[in-house]
Structure 1
Amino acid sequence: MTTARHSATPSAAPFGRALCAMITPFGDAGALDLDGAQRLAERLVTDGCDGLVLSGTTGEAPTTTDAEKAALITAVREAVGDRVPIVAGVGTFDTRHTVELALAAEKAGADGLLVVSPYYSKPPQDALEEHFRQVADASGLPVALYDIPGRTGTRIEPDTMIRLAEHPRIVAVKDCSYDFLGAQKVLSRTELAYYAGCEEHNLALYAVGGAGYISTVANAAPARLRAVLDAFDAGDTAEAARLQQRATPLIELMMSSGLPGTVTAKALLNALGLPAGPVRAPLRPAGRETADGLLAEYERLLAG
């Protein structure tokens, strides 16, 4: 066994280690379910999440209004108090709108901002860098950059990350780049806290200096994912690997089945009787066969 390397200091993991990219619960008619959001947030914190990310990809941010985003932050803050940081997704394809959302999130009580690359317009790296700087300058909240080129069409290149790390409020990255070498390059040259955004990388990124993860699968299995990091921190790397491998079938079903993680997460939560509700169009709900498969794999994970 190896000696535990990670510390739990805020500088090492500014928003916690085990973060859930929380779904946004809706009622049967599609309206925002704030009571459900509070109950789900409470469960997630009780079961091991030490940070919550609201209004990200999993939270269906493209289909919620600005007012709904602010109301969600306020409601979840009321439920969890100061026990865990709340990070608000505010990224859009419009710099001005992103700044407005950042200020609204700060006012509503968020502790940090998750800012995705502007999608569709595909800005060059100098324009991308300026976008992030303007957002970071606008509020007093720390910022996590969200690098997910498969959705946005634009990579935040490692050299751009390194320059942005000089900004005092740009402190973290949610990494969905699938560029493990690029992530290690930035880790070796900056103090940015790197969070795995793809669950199959949770342990691997943590082992080379990452801060933790921001997970969709944690909506359903927060304690099982957290246990991987806990085992690694305790120095039991073999157990950490076993637990990561044990979670892999559920990760694959939820994140690589051809359906968005939002759809599979809500299907599983609904099957478990937890707050979730429908997805908003253009997404469509998972079929019964998919939901049954997710529930069966979830039960196998808990039994192991």
Structure 2
Amino acid sequence: MTSSNDRADRLSGLFNITVTPFSADGAIDGAAFADAIERVIAQGFDGLLIGGTYGEFATMDTAERADLFRRAVEVAAGRVPLLLCTADSDPRVVRELTALAEDLGEVPMVMPPYVSEVNDDHIVAFFEEMSKISRSIMIYNAPGVGITLSPALIERLAGVKGVIAMKQGALHPLVVDDILGRVKGRLKLFCASDLQMLGPIAAGFDGVSSTNSCAFPELIHAIYHELAEGNAKKAGAMQHSWQEYRAFALKKGQPQTTKAAMTLRGWVGGHVRAPLLDLGAADREALGAIVKRLGY
């Protein structure tokens, strides 16, 4: 079992946001899930994020999410650290999954409670409660999904014993700069999106989580490492090389686009669950042309 300090030390670099491959009948495809994990570990990724927003946690029940955590731990077998997303609208579910993540020796990624009229004091109290369950919590600040934490509130949460990291989704340069000024060195900071990773990593974030690396692990790995090694101009040119795909994914939805791109590459991306919809035939054809132009 790793300590909270050990877990914090391992939270840096490039983490793959592993999509959850569903079969046509809605079941989780365990074999495809294991293959996806093995693929990015073999590529040299530094860690995995399991059951996040683009892992479609909101469409799974608690038992399915717990099973996904256990499967990921079994497949990864300690080779890389795992972030296990324990977010939920029900704090009882958050407690249960956070306790499981702690028992499994991995880092729970906890989203602020997303209920009406919640305020900063409520959010701080919530994380203080969760820190009694795990001393190795990553905050998940995900605009568009839940409450958006302000830099001032993030600074307050950095003082909660047990909060060790944050995955930041609001990536405006001024926000990134403000957060770095307040909590750099106190929290491990992750850029939430490979679509916007250049600025935050260059500015001093500790890592990035990447959904699209499920489909293009080689490309995302190469871009990240050029950037991490200080080759910003080369990394920028490489990032621009997949702009067409990035624009398509933003328009059509990242989990369904990523899964379709995986399938185009001969891997099992699987289906999405409702309310999301798989890409239609015309969109799959357009995506195929984009993937071909990328050289895959």
The corresponding residue for 1:103 is 99
Structure 1 counterpart of 2:121, which letter? D
Q: Which of 155, 161, 173 is the equivalent residue of 2:166?
A: 173
CA distance in 1, matches of 2:65, 2:7: 27
Q: Could you say which residue in structure 2 is the equivalent of 1:21?
A: 17
Amino acid at match of 1:242: A
From 106, 122, 130, the equivalent of 1:135 is 130
Secondary structure in structure 2 of the residue aligned to 1:151: coil
Q: Write out aligned runs for 1:187-206 (5 A).
A: 187-190=180-183, 191=185, 192-206=187-201
Which of 115, 120, 144 is matched with 1:150 structurally?
144
**Residue in 2 aligned with 1:239?**
234
Query: Which has the higher mean CA deviation after the structures are superposed, 22-31 or 288-297?
Result: 288-297
Give yes or no for contact 1:114–1:145 (8 Å, CA) kept in 2. Answer: yes
| 3-state SS of paired residue (1:171) | strand
The equivalent of 1:286 in structure 2 is 279
Counterpart CA distance in 2 for 1:183 and 1:103 is 31
Contact 2:7 2:106 in 1 (8 A): no
For the residues of structure 2 that align with 1:35 and 1:110, how far apart are their CA atoms? 23
**TM-score normalised to structure 1 length:** 0.88
Aligned residues: 290
The Cα of 1:205 is off from its aligned counterpart by 0.3
Q: Deviation at 1:91? A: 0.9
Which SS does the other structure have where 2:242 is aligned?
helix
1:110 to partner: Cα distance: 5.0
Paired residues of 1:115 and 1:143 also in contact (CA < 8 A): yes
CA distance in 2: counterparts of 1:290 and 1:110, whole angstroms: 41
Larger mean Cα displacement after TM superposition, 155-164 or 188-197: 188-197
Asked if the contact 2:54–2:255 (Cα under 8 Å) also holds between the matched residues in 1, the reply is yes
Q: Which deviates the most, 62-71 or 288-297? A: 288-297
| In 2, Cα distance between equivalents of 1:13 and 1:206 | 17
Residue in structure 1 matched with residue 27 of structure 2 by the alignment: 31
SS at match of 1:131: helix
Note the C-alpha offset of 1:229: 2.3
SS in 2 for 1:149: coil
**CA offsets, 1:125-159, max 9 Å, x none?**
1111211221122124x22111122222x211111
Q: Structure 1 residues 222 and 168, CA, compared in 2 at 3 Å: closer, same or farther?
A: farther
Partner-residue secondary structure (3-state), 2:124: helix
* Mapped contact 2:124–2:157 kept (Cα < 8 A): yes
> CA contact under 8 A between 1:88 and 1:110: conserved in structure 2?
no
Letter in 2 for 1:164: L
Deviates more, 1:206-215 or 1:112-121: 112-121
Cα distance, 1:283 vs. partner? 1.2
- Residues 82, 265 of structure 1: alpha-carbon distance in 2 compared, 3 angstrom cutoff: same
Report the secondary structure of 2:53's partner residue: coil
- Consecutive unaligned residues in structure 2, runs of 5 or more: 1-5
- Which residue of the other structure, out of 235, 260, 263, is the alignment partner of 1:267? 260
* 4+ runs deviating over 6 angstroms: 10-13
Scaled by the length of structure 2, what TM-score is found?
0.90
Q: Does the CA contact (< 8 Å) of 1:20 and 1:49 recur in 2?
A: yes
Change (3 A) 1:93 1:11: closer
Structure 2: which amino acid aligns with 1:144?
M
**Counterparts of 1:110 and 1:253 in 2: how far apart (Å)?**
37
Residues 14 and 171, structure 1, Cα contact 8 Å, conserved in 2: no
The reply to whether residue 299 of structure 1 matches residue 295 of structure 2 is no
TM-fit CA distance, 1:37: 0.8
Q: Does residue 215 of structure 1 match 2:237?
A: no
Question: Pick from 35, 47, 52: which aligns with 1:51?
Answer: 47
Letter in 2 for 1:104: L
CA distance in 2: counterparts of 1:189 and 1:41, whole angstroms: 34
- CA distance in structure 2 between the aligned counterparts of 1:290 and 1:13, rounded to whole angstroms: 42
Q: 2 CA distance for matches of 1:80 and 1:58?
A: 19
Residue 227 (str. 1) matches residue 222 (str. 2): yes
* Runs (5+) with no aligned partner, structure 1: 1-9
Question: For residues 92-136 of structure 1, what are the alpha-carbon distances to aligned partners after superposition, in whole Å with 9 as ceiling and x for unaligned?
Answer: 1222321111012233x2511111222243511111121122112
